[in-house]
Amino acid sequence: MTITVFVPCDAAALAVGADKVAAAISREIEARGVDARVVRNGSRGLLWLEPMVEVRTEHGRIAYGPVTPGDVPELFAADFLRGGAHPLCQGRTRDIPFLRNQTRLTFARCGVTDPLSLDDFRAYSGLKGLEKALAMSPGEIVAAVTESGLRGRGGAGFPTGIKWKTVLDAPGTTKYIVCNADEGDSGTFSDRMVMEGDPFMLIEGMIIAGMATGATKGYIYTRSEYPHAIETMRRAITIAREANLLGPSILGSGRAFDLDVREGAGAYVCGEETSLLNSLEGKRGIVRAKPPLPALQGLFGCPTVVNNVISLASVPVILDRGPAFYRDFGVGRSHGTIPIQLAGNVKHGGLYETAFGLSLGEIVNDIGGGTLSGRPVKAVQVGGPLGAYFPPSLFDTVFDYEAFAARDGLIGHAGIVVFDDTVDMLKQARFAMEFCAIESCGKCTPCRIGSTRGVETVDRIAHGIEPEQNKALLGDLCNTMKFGSLCALGGFTPYPVMSALKHFPEDFAPAPVKEAAE
Protein backbone atom coordinates (compact mmCIF):
# COMPACT_ATOMS: atom_id res chain seq x y z
CA MET A 1 0.00 0.00 0.00
CA THR A 2 1.22 3.48 -0.82
CA ILE A 3 2.58 5.23 2.26
CA THR A 4 1.42 8.83 2.78
CA VAL A 5 3.80 11.45 4.10
CA PHE A 6 2.35 14.82 5.11
CA VAL A 7 4.38 18.01 4.84
CA PRO A 8 2.50 21.23 5.68
CA CYS A 9 2.07 23.93 3.05
CA ASP A 10 0.99 26.54 5.61
CA ALA A 11 2.91 29.85 5.40
CA ALA A 12 4.44 29.36 8.87
CA ALA A 13 5.83 25.98 7.80
CA LEU A 14 6.95 27.34 4.43
CA ALA A 15 8.81 30.12 6.22
CA VAL A 16 10.96 27.56 7.98
CA GLY A 17 11.66 25.45 4.91
CA ALA A 18 8.70 23.09 4.37
CA ASP A 19 9.02 23.24 0.57
CA LYS A 20 12.65 22.15 0.72
CA VAL A 21 11.79 19.36 3.15
CA ALA A 22 8.99 18.15 0.86
CA ALA A 23 11.36 18.19 -2.11
CA ALA A 24 14.03 16.28 -0.16
CA ILE A 25 11.48 13.64 0.85
CA SER A 26 10.24 13.29 -2.75
CA ARG A 27 13.84 12.89 -3.97
CA GLU A 28 14.54 10.21 -1.38
CA ILE A 29 11.31 8.35 -2.26
CA GLU A 30 12.35 8.39 -5.90
CA ALA A 31 15.96 7.37 -5.24
CA ARG A 32 14.94 4.50 -3.00
CA GLY A 33 12.08 3.42 -5.23
CA VAL A 34 9.66 3.16 -2.29
CA ASP A 35 5.90 3.21 -2.69
CA ALA A 36 5.16 6.49 -0.95
CA ARG A 37 3.66 9.88 -1.82
CA VAL A 38 3.84 13.34 -0.31
CA VAL A 39 0.63 15.19 0.54
CA ARG A 40 0.80 18.87 1.43
CA ASN A 41 -1.53 19.41 4.39
CA GLY A 42 -2.35 22.47 6.48
CA SER A 43 -0.60 23.06 9.78
CA ARG A 44 -1.66 21.46 13.06
CA GLY A 45 -0.56 24.70 14.68
CA LEU A 46 2.40 23.36 16.68
CA LEU A 47 4.60 26.06 15.29
CA TRP A 48 7.75 25.26 17.27
CA LEU A 49 7.78 21.83 15.56
CA GLU A 50 7.39 23.16 12.00
CA PRO A 51 8.07 21.83 9.50
CA MET A 52 6.28 18.97 11.23
CA VAL A 53 6.27 15.96 8.94
CA GLU A 54 3.78 13.17 9.56
CA VAL A 55 3.61 9.68 8.20
CA ARG A 56 0.46 7.55 8.15
CA THR A 57 1.12 4.14 9.72
CA GLU A 58 -1.02 1.28 10.94
CA HIS A 59 -0.65 2.80 14.45
CA GLY A 60 -1.95 6.18 13.35
CA ARG A 61 -0.07 9.24 12.14
CA ILE A 62 3.44 9.65 13.57
CA ALA A 63 4.99 13.12 13.76
CA TYR A 64 8.57 14.23 13.25
CA GLY A 65 9.74 17.77 13.78
CA PRO A 66 11.17 20.25 13.31
CA VAL A 67 12.60 18.63 10.16
CA THR A 68 15.30 20.21 7.99
CA PRO A 69 16.19 18.96 4.49
CA GLY A 70 19.47 17.65 5.97
CA ASP A 71 17.51 15.38 8.35
CA VAL A 72 15.66 13.62 5.55
CA PRO A 73 18.23 10.91 4.57
CA GLU A 74 18.65 10.05 8.27
CA LEU A 75 14.88 9.80 8.71
CA PHE A 76 14.67 7.35 5.82
CA ALA A 77 17.61 5.40 7.29
CA ALA A 78 15.66 5.25 10.57
CA ASP A 79 12.68 3.80 8.65
CA PHE A 80 10.46 6.77 9.44
CA LEU A 81 8.06 5.67 6.70
CA ARG A 82 7.00 2.96 9.17
CA GLY A 83 7.16 5.25 12.19
CA GLY A 84 10.76 4.32 13.07
CA ALA A 85 12.52 5.77 16.11
CA HIS A 86 14.49 8.97 15.57
CA PRO A 87 15.42 11.90 17.84
CA LEU A 88 12.92 14.10 15.93
CA CYS A 89 10.06 11.63 16.46
CA GLN A 90 7.23 13.14 18.52
CA GLY A 91 5.21 9.91 18.68
CA ARG A 92 1.61 9.68 17.55
CA THR A 93 0.47 13.12 16.46
CA ARG A 94 -2.80 12.92 18.30
CA ASP A 95 -1.00 12.04 21.57
CA ILE A 96 1.19 15.17 21.59
CA PRO A 97 -0.12 16.95 24.72
CA PHE A 98 -0.51 20.32 22.94
CA LEU A 99 -2.90 18.64 20.50
CA ARG A 100 -4.43 15.99 22.75
CA ASN A 101 -5.80 18.52 25.22
CA GLN A 102 -7.50 20.72 22.64
CA THR A 103 -11.17 20.77 21.71
CA ARG A 104 -10.97 21.11 17.97
CA LEU A 105 -14.32 21.91 16.45
CA THR A 106 -13.36 24.62 13.95
CA PHE A 107 -9.85 23.29 13.41
CA ALA A 108 -10.83 19.60 13.39
CA ARG A 109 -9.64 19.11 9.80
CA CYS A 110 -6.83 21.65 9.68
CA GLY A 111 -3.53 19.83 9.29
CA VAL A 112 -5.33 16.53 8.84
CA THR A 113 -6.51 16.81 5.25
CA ASP A 114 -5.22 17.97 1.89
CA PRO A 115 -6.75 21.49 1.91
CA LEU A 116 -7.73 21.33 -1.77
CA SER A 117 -9.25 17.86 -1.77
CA LEU A 118 -13.04 17.97 -1.72
CA ASP A 119 -13.01 14.20 -1.17
CA ASP A 120 -10.94 14.66 1.99
CA PHE A 121 -13.26 17.45 3.07
CA ARG A 122 -16.32 15.25 2.69
CA ALA A 123 -14.60 12.28 4.33
CA TYR A 124 -14.05 14.39 7.46
CA SER A 125 -17.62 15.70 7.90
CA GLY A 126 -17.33 18.52 5.35
CA LEU A 127 -20.62 19.75 3.83
CA LYS A 128 -22.76 18.08 6.49
CA GLY A 129 -23.70 21.47 7.94
CA LEU A 130 -24.58 22.83 4.50
CA GLU A 131 -26.65 19.78 3.61
CA LYS A 132 -28.67 20.31 6.78
CA ALA A 133 -28.98 24.05 6.10
CA LEU A 134 -30.32 23.40 2.60
CA ALA A 135 -33.28 21.59 4.16
CA MET A 136 -34.02 24.48 6.52
CA SER A 137 -35.74 27.85 6.07
CA PRO A 138 -33.61 31.02 6.42
CA GLY A 139 -35.33 31.78 9.73
CA GLU A 140 -34.48 28.31 11.07
CA ILE A 141 -30.81 28.68 10.16
CA VAL A 142 -30.64 32.08 11.83
CA ALA A 143 -32.38 30.66 14.90
CA ALA A 144 -29.85 27.81 15.10
CA VAL A 145 -26.89 30.23 14.93
CA THR A 146 -28.52 32.50 17.52
CA GLU A 147 -29.18 29.55 19.82
CA SER A 148 -25.58 28.36 19.56
CA GLY A 149 -24.48 31.56 21.30
CA LEU A 150 -21.83 32.20 18.64
CA ARG A 151 -20.30 35.66 19.02
CA GLY A 152 -18.18 37.31 16.37
CA ARG A 153 -14.57 36.21 16.64
CA GLY A 154 -13.17 39.28 14.88
CA GLY A 155 -12.94 41.34 18.03
CA ALA A 156 -16.17 42.88 19.22
CA GLY A 157 -17.90 39.62 20.18
CA PHE A 158 -21.27 40.68 18.73
CA PRO A 159 -23.82 37.82 18.51
CA THR A 160 -23.68 36.43 14.97
CA GLY A 161 -27.31 35.28 14.93
CA ILE A 162 -28.59 38.78 15.69
CA LYS A 163 -26.49 40.26 12.88
CA TRP A 164 -27.80 37.65 10.45
CA LYS A 165 -31.41 38.30 11.53
CA THR A 166 -31.00 42.02 10.83
CA VAL A 167 -29.81 41.23 7.30
CA LEU A 168 -32.52 38.60 6.77
CA ASP A 169 -35.22 41.07 7.83
CA ALA A 170 -33.74 44.01 5.89
CA PRO A 171 -35.64 44.98 2.74
CA GLY A 172 -33.78 44.54 -0.54
CA THR A 173 -33.18 41.92 -3.18
CA THR A 174 -29.40 42.26 -3.33
CA LYS A 175 -27.56 41.28 -0.17
CA TYR A 176 -23.95 40.39 0.49
CA ILE A 177 -21.82 38.20 2.75
CA VAL A 178 -18.45 39.79 3.40
CA CYS A 179 -15.80 37.74 5.12
CA ASN A 180 -13.38 39.89 7.07
CA ALA A 181 -10.08 38.09 6.55
CA ASP A 182 -7.93 41.17 7.04
CA GLU A 183 -6.40 39.72 10.23
CA GLY A 184 -4.26 42.70 11.16
CA ASP A 185 -3.85 42.01 14.89
CA SER A 186 -0.40 41.28 16.22
CA GLY A 187 0.13 37.62 17.08
CA THR A 188 -2.89 36.36 15.13
CA PHE A 189 -2.90 33.78 12.38
CA SER A 190 -6.01 31.62 12.81
CA ASP A 191 -7.82 33.17 9.82
CA ARG A 192 -4.83 32.54 7.61
CA MET A 193 -4.57 28.96 8.88
CA VAL A 194 -8.21 28.32 7.98
CA MET A 195 -7.78 29.76 4.49
CA GLU A 196 -4.59 27.80 3.86
CA GLY A 197 -5.51 24.63 5.74
CA ASP A 198 -9.27 24.16 5.34
CA PRO A 199 -10.62 26.62 2.75
CA PHE A 200 -13.77 24.63 1.94
CA MET A 201 -14.92 25.10 5.55
CA LEU A 202 -14.95 28.87 5.07
CA ILE A 203 -16.74 28.47 1.74
CA GLU A 204 -19.31 26.22 3.43
CA GLY A 205 -19.84 28.75 6.24
CA MET A 206 -20.31 31.58 3.76
CA ILE A 207 -22.82 29.62 1.66
CA ILE A 208 -24.80 28.87 4.82
CA ALA A 209 -24.71 32.59 5.70
CA GLY A 210 -26.05 33.30 2.22
CA MET A 211 -28.86 30.73 2.63
CA ALA A 212 -29.73 32.26 6.01
CA THR A 213 -29.97 35.87 4.89
CA GLY A 214 -30.92 35.75 1.21
CA ALA A 215 -27.50 36.89 0.00
CA THR A 216 -26.29 35.41 -3.27
CA LYS A 217 -22.84 36.93 -3.46
CA GLY A 218 -19.92 36.87 -1.07
CA TYR A 219 -16.48 38.44 -0.86
CA ILE A 220 -13.47 37.37 1.14
CA TYR A 221 -11.44 40.48 1.89
CA THR A 222 -7.88 39.73 2.87
CA ARG A 223 -4.46 41.33 2.85
CA SER A 224 -1.74 41.23 0.23
CA GLU A 225 0.63 39.86 2.90
CA TYR A 226 -1.29 36.58 2.68
CA PRO A 227 -0.29 35.34 -0.80
CA HIS A 228 -0.59 31.64 0.04
CA ALA A 229 -4.00 32.09 1.61
CA ILE A 230 -5.19 34.07 -1.41
CA GLU A 231 -3.97 31.43 -3.84
CA THR A 232 -5.43 28.54 -1.85
CA MET A 233 -8.79 30.30 -1.46
CA ARG A 234 -8.96 31.10 -5.18
CA ARG A 235 -8.13 27.52 -6.14
CA ALA A 236 -10.67 26.19 -3.63
CA ILE A 237 -13.37 28.50 -5.04
CA THR A 238 -12.67 27.22 -8.58
CA ILE A 239 -12.87 23.61 -7.39
CA ALA A 240 -16.08 24.37 -5.48
CA ARG A 241 -17.62 25.96 -8.58
CA GLU A 242 -16.73 22.94 -10.71
CA ALA A 243 -18.41 20.71 -8.11
CA ASN A 244 -21.60 22.84 -8.09
CA LEU A 245 -20.92 23.83 -4.55
CA LEU A 246 -20.89 27.43 -5.72
CA GLY A 247 -22.82 28.90 -8.62
CA PRO A 248 -26.44 29.15 -9.75
CA SER A 249 -27.65 25.97 -8.04
CA ILE A 250 -25.82 24.96 -4.86
CA LEU A 251 -25.63 21.15 -4.83
CA GLY A 252 -28.63 21.09 -7.20
CA SER A 253 -30.86 22.97 -4.73
CA GLY A 254 -31.82 25.72 -7.16
CA ARG A 255 -30.37 28.28 -4.72
CA ALA A 256 -27.51 30.47 -5.90
CA PHE A 257 -24.36 31.68 -4.20
CA ASP A 258 -20.97 32.69 -5.50
CA LEU A 259 -17.76 34.01 -4.04
CA ASP A 260 -14.71 36.07 -4.88
CA VAL A 261 -11.50 36.98 -3.08
CA ARG A 262 -10.44 40.64 -2.84
CA GLU A 263 -6.98 41.74 -1.83
CA GLY A 264 -6.52 44.85 0.32
CA ALA A 265 -3.40 46.95 0.38
CA GLY A 266 -2.71 46.17 4.02
CA ALA A 267 -3.92 49.07 6.19
CA TYR A 268 -4.81 48.00 9.72
CA VAL A 269 -7.92 50.17 9.72
CA CYS A 270 -9.24 48.29 6.66
CA GLY A 271 -10.07 45.49 9.12
CA GLU A 272 -12.68 47.79 10.64
CA GLU A 273 -15.88 46.71 8.95
CA THR A 274 -17.03 50.01 7.42
CA SER A 275 -13.55 50.95 6.29
CA LEU A 276 -13.29 47.48 4.76
CA LEU A 277 -16.53 48.05 2.85
CA ASN A 278 -15.19 51.32 1.45
CA SER A 279 -12.02 49.53 0.39
CA LEU A 280 -14.06 46.74 -1.24
CA GLU A 281 -15.97 49.40 -3.18
CA GLY A 282 -12.66 50.69 -4.49
CA LYS A 283 -12.60 53.76 -2.27
CA ARG A 284 -10.08 54.88 0.33
CA GLY A 285 -10.32 52.84 3.52
CA ILE A 286 -11.91 55.46 5.75
CA VAL A 287 -14.27 54.57 8.57
CA ARG A 288 -17.97 55.29 7.98
CA ALA A 289 -20.10 56.70 10.76
CA LYS A 290 -22.70 54.28 12.13
CA PRO A 291 -25.69 54.31 11.74
CA PRO A 292 -26.53 53.10 9.19
CA LEU A 293 -25.33 49.66 10.22
CA PRO A 294 -23.66 47.61 7.48
CA ALA A 295 -26.36 45.00 8.13
CA LEU A 296 -28.85 47.51 6.70
CA GLN A 297 -26.70 49.57 4.32
CA GLY A 298 -23.39 47.88 3.75
CA LEU A 299 -21.60 47.00 0.54
CA PHE A 300 -22.82 49.28 -2.28
CA GLY A 301 -25.58 50.40 0.09
CA CYS A 302 -27.10 46.91 0.33
CA PRO A 303 -27.77 44.83 3.46
CA THR A 304 -24.50 43.08 4.28
CA VAL A 305 -23.24 40.52 6.76
CA VAL A 306 -19.65 41.34 7.74
CA ASN A 307 -18.20 38.46 9.70
CA ASN A 308 -14.75 37.32 10.65
CA VAL A 309 -13.28 34.11 9.13
CA ILE A 310 -13.54 32.14 12.36
CA SER A 311 -17.14 33.25 12.96
CA LEU A 312 -18.15 31.98 9.51
CA ALA A 313 -15.99 28.86 9.78
CA SER A 314 -17.69 27.97 13.09
CA VAL A 315 -21.12 27.80 11.43
CA PRO A 316 -20.85 24.42 9.62
CA VAL A 317 -20.20 22.50 12.83
CA ILE A 318 -23.07 24.33 14.56
CA LEU A 319 -25.49 23.29 11.80
CA ASP A 320 -24.08 19.77 11.67
CA ARG A 321 -23.91 18.97 15.39
CA GLY A 322 -26.73 21.27 16.50
CA PRO A 323 -26.70 24.58 18.41
CA ALA A 324 -26.88 22.95 21.85
CA PHE A 325 -23.72 20.94 21.20
CA TYR A 326 -21.78 24.14 20.46
CA ARG A 327 -23.43 26.22 23.16
CA ASP A 328 -22.49 23.75 25.88
CA PHE A 329 -18.80 24.57 25.51
CA GLY A 330 -17.52 27.64 27.30
CA VAL A 331 -18.39 29.78 30.32
CA GLY A 332 -20.88 32.56 31.05
CA ARG A 333 -21.89 34.30 27.86
CA SER A 334 -18.83 33.05 25.97
CA HIS A 335 -20.04 29.91 24.26
CA GLY A 336 -18.24 27.39 22.10
CA THR A 337 -14.55 27.17 21.41
CA ILE A 338 -11.95 29.79 20.61
CA PRO A 339 -8.75 29.30 18.61
CA ILE A 340 -6.16 30.92 20.86
CA GLN A 341 -3.02 32.06 19.06
CA LEU A 342 0.15 32.08 21.14
CA ALA A 343 2.98 34.24 19.86
CA GLY A 344 5.91 36.40 20.90
CA ASN A 345 8.44 35.18 23.43
CA VAL A 346 6.76 31.86 24.16
CA LYS A 347 8.16 28.34 24.17
CA HIS A 348 5.26 26.55 22.53
CA GLY A 349 3.84 29.11 20.15
CA GLY A 350 0.97 28.13 17.91
CA LEU A 351 -2.75 27.64 17.62
CA TYR A 352 -4.69 26.09 20.48
CA GLU A 353 -8.45 25.63 20.12
CA THR A 354 -10.28 25.18 23.38
CA ALA A 355 -13.56 26.00 25.07
CA PHE A 356 -13.67 29.44 26.70
CA GLY A 357 -12.85 29.28 30.39
CA LEU A 358 -9.15 28.54 30.88
CA SER A 359 -7.24 31.07 32.95
CA LEU A 360 -4.69 33.31 31.25
CA GLY A 361 -1.97 31.75 33.42
CA GLU A 362 -2.90 28.23 32.28
CA ILE A 363 -2.70 29.37 28.68
CA VAL A 364 0.65 31.14 28.95
CA ASN A 365 2.46 28.85 31.37
CA ASP A 366 0.93 25.39 30.96
CA ILE A 367 0.04 25.42 27.27
CA GLY A 368 2.64 27.92 26.06
CA GLY A 369 5.32 26.60 28.40
CA GLY A 370 6.35 30.11 29.52
CA THR A 371 8.88 32.19 27.66
CA LEU A 372 11.21 30.88 24.96
CA SER A 373 14.06 32.83 26.53
CA GLY A 374 13.51 31.02 29.83
CA ARG A 375 13.29 34.38 31.64
CA PRO A 376 10.24 35.29 33.74
CA VAL A 377 7.11 36.48 31.94
CA LYS A 378 6.64 40.20 32.53
CA ALA A 379 3.58 40.98 30.43
CA VAL A 380 1.20 39.52 27.89
CA GLN A 381 -0.78 41.53 25.42
CA VAL A 382 -4.11 39.96 24.59
CA GLY A 383 -6.29 41.04 21.67
CA GLY A 384 -3.89 42.66 19.22
CA PRO A 385 -2.26 46.08 19.21
CA LEU A 386 -5.28 47.65 20.91
CA GLY A 387 -5.38 45.06 23.69
CA ALA A 388 -4.29 45.65 27.28
CA TYR A 389 -1.03 44.38 28.76
CA PHE A 390 -1.64 41.97 31.63
CA PRO A 391 1.00 41.27 34.29
CA PRO A 392 1.31 37.79 35.88
CA SER A 393 -0.68 39.09 38.87
CA LEU A 394 -3.75 39.04 36.57
CA PHE A 395 -3.12 35.52 35.31
CA ASP A 396 -6.21 34.26 37.14
CA THR A 397 -8.35 36.14 34.56
CA VAL A 398 -10.61 33.65 32.82
CA PHE A 399 -10.57 33.59 29.03
CA ASP A 400 -14.05 34.95 28.49
CA TYR A 401 -15.21 38.24 26.93
CA GLU A 402 -16.78 39.61 30.12
CA ALA A 403 -13.96 38.56 32.47
CA PHE A 404 -11.42 40.38 30.31
CA ALA A 405 -13.62 43.46 29.98
CA ALA A 406 -14.02 43.54 33.78
CA ARG A 407 -10.25 43.95 34.02
CA ASP A 408 -10.01 46.62 31.34
CA GLY A 409 -8.85 44.19 28.72
CA LEU A 410 -10.23 42.48 25.67
CA ILE A 411 -9.97 39.09 24.02
CA GLY A 412 -10.23 40.55 20.53
CA HIS A 413 -9.21 37.96 17.97
CA ALA A 414 -7.64 35.83 20.73
CA GLY A 415 -4.02 36.56 19.87
CA ILE A 416 -1.69 36.47 22.87
CA VAL A 417 1.78 37.99 22.65
CA VAL A 418 4.15 37.10 25.48
CA PHE A 419 7.02 39.31 26.73
CA ASP A 420 9.78 38.43 29.21
CA ASP A 421 11.27 40.73 31.84
CA THR A 422 13.54 42.50 29.36
CA VAL A 423 10.59 44.37 27.83
CA ASP A 424 10.37 48.11 28.46
CA MET A 425 6.69 48.92 28.95
CA LEU A 426 7.17 52.63 28.33
CA LYS A 427 8.43 51.73 24.86
CA GLN A 428 5.39 49.50 24.40
CA ALA A 429 3.09 52.37 25.36
CA ARG A 430 4.91 54.62 22.91
CA PHE A 431 4.56 51.94 20.24
CA ALA A 432 0.78 51.78 20.79
CA MET A 433 0.44 55.54 20.28
CA GLU A 434 2.78 55.50 17.28
CA PHE A 435 0.86 52.58 15.75
CA CYS A 436 -2.38 54.54 16.12
CA ALA A 437 -0.78 57.64 14.58
CA ILE A 438 0.49 55.66 11.58
CA GLU A 439 -2.67 53.60 11.05
CA SER A 440 -5.27 56.28 11.82
CA CYS A 441 -7.68 56.81 8.92
CA GLY A 442 -7.69 60.49 9.85
CA LYS A 443 -11.43 60.99 10.02
CA CYS A 444 -11.65 62.13 13.63
CA THR A 445 -9.50 64.46 15.70
CA PRO A 446 -9.04 62.52 18.97
CA CYS A 447 -7.41 59.66 17.07
CA ARG A 448 -5.57 61.59 14.34
CA ILE A 449 -4.11 64.32 16.53
CA GLY A 450 -4.37 62.60 19.90
CA SER A 451 -2.08 59.74 18.93
CA THR A 452 0.65 62.09 17.70
CA ARG A 453 0.42 64.16 20.90
CA GLY A 454 0.47 60.82 22.77
CA VAL A 455 3.83 59.86 21.26
CA GLU A 456 5.25 63.26 22.23
CA THR A 457 3.92 62.97 25.77
CA VAL A 458 5.38 59.49 26.28
CA ASP A 459 8.69 60.81 24.95
CA ARG A 460 8.65 63.61 27.52
CA ILE A 461 8.04 61.08 30.29
CA ALA A 462 10.91 58.98 28.95
CA HIS A 463 13.18 61.99 29.14
CA GLY A 464 12.13 62.78 32.69
CA ILE A 465 10.50 66.07 31.72
CA GLU A 466 7.82 66.98 34.25
CA PRO A 467 6.94 63.28 34.61
CA GLU A 468 3.98 63.63 36.97
CA GLN A 469 2.31 66.36 34.89
CA ASN A 470 2.94 64.43 31.68
CA LYS A 471 1.58 61.19 33.11
CA ALA A 472 -1.59 63.07 34.10
CA LEU A 473 -1.71 64.60 30.62
CA LEU A 474 -1.33 61.14 29.07
CA GLY A 475 -4.29 59.97 31.16
CA ASP A 476 -6.39 62.91 29.97
CA LEU A 477 -5.41 62.32 26.38
CA CYS A 478 -6.34 58.64 26.64
CA ASN A 479 -9.70 59.58 28.12
CA THR A 480 -10.39 61.92 25.21
CA MET A 481 -9.39 59.26 22.69
CA LYS A 482 -11.42 56.57 24.45
CA PHE A 483 -14.64 58.54 24.58
CA GLY A 484 -14.24 60.87 21.59
CA SER A 485 -13.04 58.57 18.79
CA LEU A 486 -15.34 57.41 16.05
CA CYS A 487 -14.05 53.83 15.94
CA ALA A 488 -12.13 51.41 18.11
CA LEU A 489 -8.73 52.24 16.60
CA GLY A 490 -8.60 55.54 18.44
CA GLY A 491 -11.02 54.36 21.12
CA PHE A 492 -9.00 51.33 22.21
CA THR A 493 -5.42 52.62 21.89
CA PRO A 494 -5.73 53.83 25.50
CA TYR A 495 -5.97 50.17 26.64
CA PRO A 496 -2.35 49.19 25.94
CA VAL A 497 -1.13 52.65 27.01
CA MET A 498 -3.02 52.88 30.31
CA SER A 499 -2.47 49.21 31.22
CA ALA A 500 1.28 49.68 30.74
CA LEU A 501 1.20 52.77 32.95
CA LYS A 502 -1.00 51.14 35.58
CA HIS A 503 0.67 47.74 35.91
CA PHE A 504 4.28 48.68 35.22
CA PRO A 505 4.74 52.14 36.82
CA GLU A 506 8.44 51.43 37.40
CA ASP A 507 9.06 51.66 33.64
CA PHE A 508 7.62 55.18 33.64
CA ALA A 509 9.85 56.40 36.46
CA PRO A 510 11.82 59.57 35.70
CA ALA A 511 15.02 59.03 33.76
CA PRO A 512 18.34 59.85 35.51
CA VAL A 513 18.81 63.56 36.08
CA LYS A 514 21.71 63.72 33.64
CA GLU A 515 19.53 62.51 30.82
CA ALA A 516 16.71 64.81 31.85
CA ALA A 517 19.04 67.79 31.80
CA GLU A 518 20.29 67.08 28.28
Chain residues that interact with ligand SF4, rule: CB under 6 A = 269, 287, 440-444, 447-448, 485-487, 489-490
Distance in angstroms (rounded) separating the CA atoms of residues 472 and 434: 19
Which residues are registered as beta bridge partners of 247? Answer: 257
Of residues 193, 487, 498, 501, which one binds ligand FMN by CB under 6 A? Answer: 487
How many C-beta atoms surround the C-beta of residue 324 within 10 A? 12
Estimate to the nearest angstrom the gap between the alpha carbon of 501 and the chain centroid: 28
Residue in 187, 199, 271, 349 binding ligand FMN, rule: CB under 6 A: 271
* d(C-alpha 309, C-alpha 494), whole Å: 27
**Residue 437 contact, options ligand SF4, ligand FMN, none, Cβ 5-8 Å cut-off depending on partner type:** none
Q: How many whole angstroms separate alpha carbon 376 and alpha carbon 361?
A: 13
Nearer to ligand SF4, 34 or 156 (CB): 156
Stretch of residues binding ligand FMN (CB under 6 A), selected from 64-72, 178-186, 333-341, 402-410:
178-186
The rounded distance, in Å, linking the Cα atoms of 114 and 22 is 14
Task: Work out which of 183, 196, 400, 507 binds ligand FMN, going by CB under 6 A.
Answer: 183
Question: Between 50 and 439, whose beta carbon lies closer to ligand FMN?
Answer: 439
Residue range at the interface with ligand FMN (CB under 6 A); choices 263-271, 373-381, 389-397, 444-452: 263-271
Q: Give least dist CB 474 to ligand SF4, A.
A: 18
Phi, psi (rounded to 5 degrees) for 253: -80, -15
CA distances from 307 to 155, 272, 273 (A): 10, 11, 9
Region near ligand FMN per CB under 6 A, out of 247-255, 269-277, 324-332, 494-502: 269-277
* Binders in 111-140 for ligand FMN, by CB under 6 A: none
Does 156 contact ligand FMN by CB under 6 A? yes
Asked if 104 contacts 197 with a C-beta cutoff of 8 angstroms, the reply is no
Question: What is the smallest separation between the CB atom of 479 and ligand SF4, expressed in angstroms?
Answer: 14
Single out the residue of 148, 311, 341, 499 in contact with ligand FMN (rule: CB under 6 A). Answer: 311
> Is the dihedral angle over the CA atoms 138, 143, 148, 154 positive or is it negative?
positive
How many chain residues are in contact with ligand FMN, going by CB under 6 A?
Answer: 22
Quick one: the chain helix, strand, coil %, rounded to 5?
Answer: 45, 15, 35
Stretch that binds ligand FMN, among 139-147, 270-278, 346-354, 419-427 (CB under 6 A): 270-278
- Rounded distance, CA 314 to CA 77, Å? 42
Q: Which is nearer to ligand FMN, 86 or 163 (CB)?
A: 163
Per rule CB under 6 A, is residue 28 in the interface with ligand FMN? no
b (16+ CB within 10 A) / e for 447-486: bbbbbbbbbebbebbbbbeebeebbebbbebbebbbeebb
State the binding partner of 447 from ligand SF4, ligand FMN, none, CB within 5 to 8 A by kind.
Answer: ligand SF4
d(CA 201, CA 216): 18
Residue from 153, 348, 378, 482 touching ligand FMN (CB under 6 A): that is 153
- Considering the complex, state which of residue 164 and residue 268 has its C-beta at the smaller distance from ligand SF4: 268
For residues 187 and 343, the answer to whether their CB atoms sit within 8 Å is yes
Contact between 269 and ligand FMN by CB under 6 A: the answer reads yes
Question: Contacting ligand FMN (CB under 6 A), which of 123, 158, 284, 479?
Answer: 158
Going by C-alpha positions, the residue among 236, 413, 208, 218 that lies closest to residue 315 is: 208
Residues in the site for ligand FMN, rule: CB under 6 A? 152-156, 158, 180, 182-184, 268-269, 271-273, 306-308, 311, 487-489
